[in-house]
């Protein structure tokens, strides 16, 4: 597969991420400054940071994304519904929601589908982007397929591999599988452990249309070095 990977194209696929439970306001300021400078798709933050980021990025094309039910997905559906709408009201333009993994494993697919349906509907009404986080390292292939099928049926915008907080993150195999299930209609976000240009390239080649990473700046610097040497294709 050969794709032109310009700095603008790659930056527009990166969700620049700061989801640590610790840090200072300066960390968030730096995150937003970097996202604006490089032209990243969005900043991915915890809900408590949404308003701050929205102020910092006002007038910028960079979107603010909130992680909901994060990172375990074990909130009740009612709590997730409130968290989604609260984040949207505070300025989030994208929502990345962790499904109830244990419910899925227990065979309660209807509960998970209802969560996804609510996420998609709330984001659609607000003009926001909805992303469904599978946490693939905990799921069987059949469960991964089922979540992707439900997300597609309910009109979610993306399926996403991982939170980055599990024991394993994105794999090329999972990205390829998710792309095969959802087809061209949906976005596929690879996240978790993507820290190098080569890793990002592999995920894009497998079908990812977004890359969630806290190493976005380092990846862009790698690409700039590659471009200086005359190579930007994957």
Residue 231: predicted pLDDT: 59
* 129-133 and 42-45 beta bridge pairing: unpaired
Cα–Cα distance, 54 to 91 (Å, whole number):
6
Cα–Cα distance, 158 to 212 (Å, whole number):
12
Residue 226 pLDDT level (bands cut at 50, 70, 90): confident
Cα–Cα distance, 180 to 197 (Å, whole number):
23
| Average predicted confidence (pLDDT) for the chain | 95
Residue 1: predicted pLDDT: 38
Q: Is the Cβ–Cβ distance between 174 and 144 less than 8 Å?
A: yes
For the chain, which residues make up each domain, given as ranges? 7-225
Residue 129 has a CB neighbour count (10 Å cut-off) of 21
Cα–Cα distance, 95 to 72 (Å, whole number):
15
Which listed CATH number (3.30.565.10, 3.20.20.70, 3.40.50.1360, 1.10.645.10) goes with 7-225? 3.20.20.70
Write down the pTM of the prediction: 0.94
13-54 residue pLDDT tens: 999 999 999 999 999 999 999 999 999 999 999 999 999 999
234 compared with 160, residue with greater pLDDT = 160
* Residues catalogued as catalytic: 96, 160, 189
Span 47-67, mean pLDDT?
A: 98
Q: Which of 78-82, 160-164, 227-231 has the lowest mean pLDDT?
A: 227-231
Residue 228: predicted pLDDT: 80
143-202 residue pLDDT tens: 999 999 999 999 999 999 999 999 999 999 999 999 999 999 999 999 999 999 999 999
Residue 233 pLDDT level (bands cut at 50, 70, 90): low
- The helix (H) or strand (E) run that includes residue 134 is none
Residue 232: predicted pLDDT: 52
- The helix (H) or strand (E) run that includes residue 168 is none
């Amino acid at each position: 597969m050969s794709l032109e990977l310009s700095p603008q194209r790659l930056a527009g696929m990166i969700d620049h991420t700061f989801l640590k439970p610790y840090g200072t306001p300066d960390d968030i300021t730096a995150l937003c400054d970097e996202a604006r400078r490089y032209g990243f798709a969005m900043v991915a933050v915890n809900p408590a940071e949404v308003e701050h980021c929205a102020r910092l990025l006002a007038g910028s094309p960079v979107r603010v994304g909130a992680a909901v039910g994060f990172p375990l997905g074990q909130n009740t559906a009612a709590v997730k519904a409130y968290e989604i709408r609260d984040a949207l009201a505070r300025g989030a333009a994208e929502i990345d929601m962790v499904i109830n993994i244990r419910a899925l494993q227990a065979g309660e697919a209807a509960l998970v589908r209802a969560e996804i349906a609510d996420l998609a509907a709330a984001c659609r009404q607000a003009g926001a982007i909805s992303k469904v986080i599978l946490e693939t390292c905990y799921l069987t292939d059949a469960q991964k397929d089922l979540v992707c099928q439900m997300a597609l049926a309910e009109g979610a915008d993306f399926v996403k591999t991982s939170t980055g907080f599990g024991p394993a993150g994105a794999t090329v195999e999972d990205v390829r599988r998710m792309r095969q299930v959802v087809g061209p209609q949906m976005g596929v976000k690879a996240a978790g452990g993507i820290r190098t240009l080569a890793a990002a390239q592999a995920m894009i080649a497998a079908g990812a249309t977004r890359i969630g990473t806290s190493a976005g700046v380092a990846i862009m610097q790698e690409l700039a070095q590659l471009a200086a040497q005359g190579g930007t294709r994957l």
